[in-house]
Structure 1
Amino acid sequence: MTLDAPGANATDCAGLNGQAPRCHHIDQLPAVRPGLPECAECRHLGRTWARLLVCLTCGWVACSDDAQGGHSRAHYEETDHPVVATLASPSTWRWCYVHRRTV
């Protein structure tokens, strides 16, 4: 049995023709409205950010791992909200922290 994440059977979730296993987290996301286009934590600390990500569970906007703070990952670690997207548009890029890959 191949495991993608603890308790997730990747073979059961595999895509066609060897595609990466489907991330079931994206099926559970509500429609959210992103917050202000800034990382509040970085702004409070007087830092700048490289790229902003929006939590697709609650709309929280924070800096990516490219920034000094990595506040988007910190938000995931606090809340277990699994998927983020870049705030830059147009983009369809999404990242699942649970599976540690783009989805």
Structure 2
Amino acid sequence: MSECMHVAELPRPEPVPLSSSCTQCEAVGSHPVQLRICLVCGHVACCDSSPLRHASGHFQETAHAVMRSFEPGQTWRWCFVDGSIV
């Protein structure tokens, strides 16, 4: 994995998660496949494999480019702008 300029621009330390689940899914009774956390603001959302794709929606609404897996034992990050694992 290589760093991209969007990772270099992230706040340090990482933000505190705003929730422990995708509250948008919970609000409509949907079940997320996996969770992601926004590394700019701490928003937790469901992944693109989930029916409602709230992580992508968060990027489209905020332009916060980098999310990290919010699954236990996973630390990989995804940059929506570069379309790659970073």
Does 2:27 correspond to 1:44?
A: yes
CA contact (8 A) 1:85 1:93 kept: yes
Counterpart of 1:66 (choices 43, 49, 68) is 49
* C-alpha distance in structure 2 between counterparts of 1:76 and 1:34, whole Å: 16
Q: Structure 1 stretches of 5 or more lacking a match?
A: 1-18
Q: 1 CA distance for matches of 2:75 and 2:35?
A: 14
2:69 aligns with one of 70, 75, 86: 86
What TM-score, normalized to structure 2?
A: 0.91
How many residues in Structure 1 have an aligned counterpart in Structure 2? 84
Percent identity over paired residues: 36
One-letter identity of the residue aligned with 1:23? C
The runs of at least 4 aligned residues of structure 1 exceeding 3 Å deviation read none
Indicate the structure whose relative CO is greater, using CA pairs within 8 Å and at least 6 residues apart. Answer: 2
- Report the aligned-residue RMSD: 1.4
Does structure 1 residue 23 correspond to structure 2 residue 1? no
Counterpart of 1:35, as a letter, is: L
Name structure 2 gaps, 5 residues minimum. none
The C-alpha deviation readout for 1:46-84, integer Å capped at 9, x for no partner, is: 110000000000000000001000000000000000000
| TM norm structure 1 | 0.76
